Amino acid sequence: MAKVDTAPSEPLAPPARPRSSVPQVPRQASPGPSEPSNSATLIGSVQRAMRLLERVAEHEYGAPAKQLARETGLALPTAYHLLRTLVHEGYLRRDKGLFFLGEAAVRLSSSGAEQKRRSTVADTLARCRDAIGVPVYYAQYRDGEIEVVCVSDTPGNPAVEEWADFRETGHAHAIGQCLLSQLDEDARRDHLERHPVQSITPYTVRDSSSLLRRLERVRRMEPVVERQEYALGTVCAAIPITLGTTAATMAISLPVQQSDRLLSAARQLQEEVGRLLGSLAISISI
């Protein structure tokens, strides 16, 4: 900023505006088309580092600094400096003069892929929810536990509140019963030893022997239905989704006053899942 003479004998001159500053506009005015681009706030060194990372990712067997500098259009000293920094931070690793993606970059990649898979599941559930007009749930049995991965509902058709831990009460809800029905007997007994049967409502199955007999009677690909066993006033149905060794399920819930809709809605869910199974299969390994 230019120096301003503050002597009292002369009026103050307005300070010179920096070239990169944003013009001041009234709060209620809309930004004009001539407003400066946000590119003025971008950090060039970060952009160059990202270009290097992208190039390294394209070389499965690694690449030397000179090649990476040439491909990114960077001066060799600049490329060396950024590459050393990325190696220090764990985003790259260097081996015999070649640069490869490091553990930190791999973690970012894995996280991004998982987010994409979860987004695919969420989209699938939303389509089923809108088609049937009920809350839809997706869950898996993983590492010996019941995991509700995603729930899709609306204010008009809210999901069941998890007032008792879903993992510990698998015997009481359709999601858990459907997942347990896909396991072998030893795995079922192991689960029930860790999470014993307990009364959740007056309608909950009373003991593990009764539950095991019920699970044995579940027919392949048939909906598993429970009525007010987990939450009073709610009925649920779950359909099995088995791909490889992964036990999974999609389920729906309805107010008890709409019990007569439960089986037809479950059949409709099976039809919807059949149409969308391709996209869901890609994401089954979340």
Percent of the chain with pLDDT over 70: 77
54 band by pLDDT with thresholds 50, 70 and 90: confident
- Report the side by side order of strands in the sheet with 136-142: 145-152, 136-142, 246-255, 234-243, 224-227
Highest mean pLDDT range out of 91-100, 115-124, 213-222, 261-270?
261-270
Q: What are phi and psi of 231, to 5 degrees?
A: -140, 125
Q: What is the mean pLDDT of the chain?
A: 82
- Assess whether pLDDT exceeds 50 at residue 18: no
Three-state SS for 158-195 is CCCCCCCCCCCCCCCCHHHHHHHHCCCHHHHHHHHHHC
255 band by pLDDT with thresholds 50, 70 and 90: very high
What confidence score (pLDDT) does residue 32 get?
A: 43
Q: Which residue has the higher pLDDT, 265 or 103?
A: 265
What confidence score (pLDDT) does residue 123 get?
A: 85
What confidence score (pLDDT) does residue 67 get?
A: 93
